[in-house]
Chain A
Amino acid sequence: MLKRFIGYPFMALGLVACVTINIYFSAAAAEEAARTIVRDVLGEEAKPEQQKSAPKEEKNKDDQQSLQEILESTFSNTLGGILDFMVPTAQAATPDIDIDSPAIRKLRASMSSRQSGLAAHYRSGALGFTNNGLVAVRDLKLIPLRERNKVKKMVADENGDRKALYAEIARANGQPQWEKNIRDTFSRVWVEEAPKGYWHQDGKGKWRQK
């Protein structure tokens, strides 16, 4: 028992020496950034502000995963309390997501100018939003024959811009590893902001109409 008692401070000091402060992906900031861009791209097509689906508490939990949580799951509450005192909680402030780089502005402009050409095909159901933040041809038959390659090119260009946008937002914020999180956030926001009647894929890839 004594051995354990003496051991805790050393363990704690060891932990102090190993603490790494990580910047965790801020889902709320990313969502705000995504919503700004999506509304800008969809323009008048974007639906008005609506209640966000996920409960706020849950979001906050996602936003900041602190070292404290990890420690609490490992050690007893008592030890956790001691460590709270000795090791400041290693959590990052919730950073804003920067969406103001030249490349992002260029991509947004490119997507906005393309939207007028895509909108009619979203509404007809020929195109839809995929569950990985891209656009896909949902029903080729709904596109007149002579327009098909033009639409397919628009889809390819749109997807090229979207992929570049997700990567560029992650890069512009100095966190290239966030690309997937950003893409996931956008994937959800595209659907949330899409007007009624637009088609989108659910988590299993099945097409649903809003």
Chain B
Amino acid sequence: MEFTPDIAISMGQYHAILIGFVGLVLLSSTSLHTEAGLNMGLSVQRLSATGWVMEDVNLDLNLESGQQLTVHMTAASLRHDALPGKIEGIRLDCPLQTVQRTYHCHDGRLSIGASPYGPQELRVSGEFIDSERLKLKAQGFKLASGRISVELELKEGSWELAFKGKDLKLDALRKAFAARSLPSDSELSGRAQITAQVAGNQSRPEHIDMDIQVSKFSYADAEGLHVAEDGRFRLDIKAKRKGSDWVGSSGFILTGGQFYADPFYMEVLEEPLSLQLQGRWKPAAQVVQVDEAMVKVPRVMESRARIDIDTSKMAILQADIDLQSDNVDSLYRVFFQPMLIGTMADDVEAGGMLHSRIGLKNGQLQTLHADLKDVNLDDRRGLFALYDINGSLTWGREKNPAKSHLRIEGGQLYRIDFGALEIHAHAQQGEVALEAPVEIPLMLGLLHIDKLHLLDLLGDSPRWTTSAQFRDISLGALAEAFEWPPMEGMLQGTIPNVRYHQKRLEMDGELVVDVFGGKISVDELLIEDPLGRVPELSANMHLRGLDLARITQTFSFGHIEGGLEGEIADLRLASWEPIAFNARFNTPEKDQTPHRISQRAVDNLTALGNGVGSGLSSTFLGFFKEFRYDRIELQAKLNGNVAELDGMKHPDGGYYIVKGSGLPRIDVIARNRQVAWKTLLERLKSIRVEGMEVR
């Protein structure tokens, strides 16, 4: 016999065992109105409704005395669409009492021989008034090494379901429900306490209130890119239906554990990390509208945001984010540094406060505004430092230019300290340009930047150009910064157009420096990877009209009077050390200035050319402190580790470095033409100069 009842309640989403119980009570209700003793048996081979089917159902009703009615029901199997497998060996024993036309079952037992969740022994109780009013309760359901209890109340078309899960093992839960949202080769463990209340009308849930607490939470995917260790968190969700939408709020509090989501790492120790959400889910439009999201990462940042998410693509449609951090160092270490690993900004010590507003549309950054207060950025490798940055940065994707203003109290680039500067700039799509020239106090002088233009910052080919002048730069401060020999004097000069693109810094035209009474110009300047591991510089330098008296006074080399010109062609530096050049320094033709050279300078030049000093002081020439000379010339060509030296041709071999004139005449003649670069450096170091250390 097959009997298919017309059951109005469709509860496919809820527990199939309870459905069976309700169905059978409904089925038998019409024959219970009798005062006499009664034994009634009913066998149904197959009982089914939408979404479920029960087979070999036997129902025995025993009305023993008075109102005491006992229901015994067995079923061979129950299948339900919501269950991963069938339930077998079902047996329900329920003593019923009738009070004012309501049937009560206070101490029923439901046993299940086999189910996807193992065999079960449940305590069940319930009240039944009619097909639209009943209460059911089942306790002791064993699942995932924990216990579950469920309460269901039906009341004139509406229903309420209460669920409690205690000490549920997450790994077992995952197996029981074959959770497909997690990769199959991932590892999951932890214990959960779950309470949930769901209310609805007919088959539609209308209200959900859920609280989940998880402890000892561990998760790891196969590659180790997403990992949690010893996590503790609490998640609560409250939602109710409004028309076709759901509105609600959710809270997530992380109270402990270590978490890694490549490349970000976070450890929660004392203060909890919290996330509060309030918003609306529009299933028809496949949109989640978060009206307010509040994130608090202790000692790192707090953020409020409004976000619209396309649930079909899990993409941000629009977002307005307000972010506040009183600890820029933590913000950098937690969120920025992991993304910057491998770049020049991956080892920065930061400090200060930041307030930022960020606008996103269709996943793209639209606007960015950041107020900085006392922000410090200090590269640990010593490449750069910026101290006490205050002001605001504004950028927009739209064409309207957004203006920014920053004041920096000081800083460092390489080893060069600079003073306070103010920057007024505007940003426009992928471009940033100065609104006004920037003046940077530098080495007792000033660097005046006329223009700075950053281009294609959003494209594949970001680059910048600049031009500047420098005034009264102290050579002494420059030498001190680079640990050169002490020098005196001032530098004046112009830096023409400089371009930086794809790690290449190139200069158009000539960099002209006014120094030592003449000019030193630099052209064809190219620096490859200037902030990289091995910066490579190539350039040509030309020296014109230099006054040797000023140079030798500066270098304390020994006094020389006269003019000097020369060039350093094909200069190449790697890691700021010379690896090649072709240099020539000489007295200019028709030089009208007096030509004098001191005994010490002769001695030093001789040592440079030959490796040993002249020893003049030990001869009668030691009485003369100065000598006249006709011409000085020194050529040096470095290629790799060997320097080739040369000067004016000497008829008996060797070459003049200094060709004397008058009496007493001094000629400095060098014989060695090749010298190891290291040796030449050693000679420079060993030059006898009072109070001076050559490094």
Contacts and interface: CB of A to CB of B under 8 A. Distances in A.
A162 B267 CA distance: 33
Interface in A14-28: none
Interface string A96-117: 0010111100110010000000
A25 to B, nearest CB: 17
A38 B575 CA distance: 21
A127 to B, nearest CB: 13
B258 A174 contact: no
A13 to B, nearest CB: 34
B640 A156 contact: no
Given A140-B223, A146-B265, A103 B575 contact: yes
B338 interface: yes
Given A101-B579, A102-B574, A164 B342 contact: no
Contacts of B347: 153
Contacts of A149: 263, 265, 337-338, 341
B641 A145 contact: no
Interface string A144-181: 01101100110010001100100110011010000000
B157 interface: no
A153 B340 CA distance: 9
Contacts of A141: 220, 223-224, 227
B526 to A, nearest CB: 14
Nearest to A126: B224
A149 B532 CA distance: 21
A172 B579 contact: yes
A110 B533 CA distance: 10
A152 B260 CA distance: 13
Q: How large is the interface on A (under 10, 10 to 19, 20 to 34, 35 or more residues)?
A: 20 to 34
Contact of B577 (A102, A107, A145, A146): A102
B341 A153 contact: yes
A152 B341 contact: yes
A103 B341 contact: no
A14 to B, nearest CB: 33
Nearest to B342: A156
A84 interface: no
B439 to A, nearest CB: 35
Interface in B251-288: 258-260, 262-263, 265, 267
A62 interface: no
A168 B267 contact: no
A160 B640 contact: no
A171 B574 contact: yes
A148 B265 CA distance: 8
Interface residues of B, number: 29
A160 B347 CA distance: 14
A174 to B, nearest CB: 7
B346 interface: yes
Nearest to B264: A149
B227 A145 contact: yes
A152 B341 CA distance: 7
A69 interface: no
Given A145-B227, A160-B533, A103 B574 contact: yes
B40 interface: no
Contact of B534 (A98, A152, A167): A167
Given A140-B225, A145-B229, A149-B263, A102 B575 contact: yes
Contacts of A98: 640-641
A107 B577 CA distance: 14
Interface in B219-250: 220, 223-225, 227, 229
Nearest to B580: A174
Interface in B323-381: 337-338, 341-342, 346-347
Nearest to B574: A103
A184 to B, nearest CB: 20
B258 A146 contact: yes
B676 to A, nearest CB: 11
B265 A172 contact: no
Contacts of A152: 263, 338, 341
Nearest to A167: B534
Contacts of A172: 574, 579, 640
B533 to A, nearest CB: 4
B575 A160 contact: no
Contacts of B341: 149, 152-153, 156
A172 B536 CA distance: 12
A145 B267 CA distance: 9
B31 to A, nearest CB: 65
Contacts of B227: 141, 145
A107 B265 contact: no
Contacts of A103: 534, 574-575, 577
A146 B267 contact: yes
Given A149-B341, A156-B346, A164 B260 contact: no
Contacts of A153: 341-342, 346-347
A171 B260 CA distance: 41
Contacts of B263: 148-149, 152
A100 B641 CA distance: 9
Interface string A131-148: 000000001110001101
B637 to A, nearest CB: 14
Nearest to B223: A140
A101 B223 CA distance: 41
A148 B260 contact: yes
Given A102-B575, A141-B220, A152-B341, A107 B533 contact: yes
A145 B265 contact: yes
Nearest to A152: B341
Contacts of B220: 141
Nearest to B347: A153
Contact of A145 (B260, B337, B338, B534): B260
A172 B579 CA distance: 8
A145 B575 contact: no
Contacts of A156: 341-342, 346
Contacts of A164: 532-534
Nearest to B260: A145
A62 B312 CA distance: 59
B574 A139 contact: no
Nearest to A137: B224
Interface string B514-526: 0000000000000
A140 B263 CA distance: 11
Contacts of B346: 153, 156
A190 to B, nearest CB: 19
A103 B580 CA distance: 13
B314 to A, nearest CB: 24
Nearest to A102: B577
Most B CB contacts (10 A, CB to CB) among A141, A160, A172 go to A141
A150 B267 CA distance: 15
Cβ-closest 3 pairs across A and B? A141-B224, A102-B577, A156-B342
Interface of A: 98, 100-103, 106-107, 110, 139-141, 145-146, 148-149, 152-153, 156, 160-161, 164, 167-168, 171-172, 174
26 contacts: A98-B640, A98-B641, A100-B641, A101-B574, A101-B579, A103-B534, A103-B575, A140-B224, A141-B223, A145-B229, A145-B267, A146-B265, A148-B260, A148-B263, A148-B265, A149-B341, A152-B338, A152-B341, A153-B342, A156-B346, A161-B533, A164-B532, A172-B574, A172-B579, A172-B640, A174-B640
Given A106-B534, A146-B265, A148-B260, 11 more contacts: A101-B574, A101-B640, A102-B577, A103-B574, A103-B575, A140-B262, A160-B533, A167-B534, A168-B534, A171-B536, A174-B640
